[in-house]
Amino acid sequence: QSVLTQPPSVSAAPGQKVTISCSGSSSNIAKNYVSWYQQVAGTAPKLLIFGSDERPSGIPDRFSGSKSGTSATLGITGLQTGDEADYYCEAWDSSLSSVLFGGGTKLTVL
């Protein structure tokens, strides 16, 4: 059981918007940066969001991140079939001295 909690799955139609939540605690999300990763089946994870709300170069602005208190959210607009993947949140936990990943959310674009 992951310390960072994500919904197991979300779905939406092409062109629509979806949000994925990540719930943590005062020792991880509340005081540290959150990152988000996209993992297409059979491939390595890819960094989508760092610093809770910043995008690396090459990541389209359809992807956005936000954080409030002990929760973080990944938003994806203008959904495309190519966005179908597993999405993971990640944060450092200052009490555990550990990197934490959420359990992952499978996005289906209907």
Residues found near other proteins in the complex (CB under 8 A): 2, 32-33, 35, 37, 39, 44-47, 50-52, 54, 56, 86, 88, 90-92, 97-104
Closest distance to other proteins from the beta carbon of 25 (Å): 16
Q: DSSP labels for 36-65? A: EEEE-TTS--EEEEBTTTB--TT--TTEEE
DSSP β-bridge partners for residue 102: 4
Closest distance to other proteins from the beta carbon of 80 (Å): 22
Q: Are 93 and 77 in contact (CB under 8 A)?
A: no
Q: Which is nearer to other proteins, 13 or 44 (CB)?
A: 44
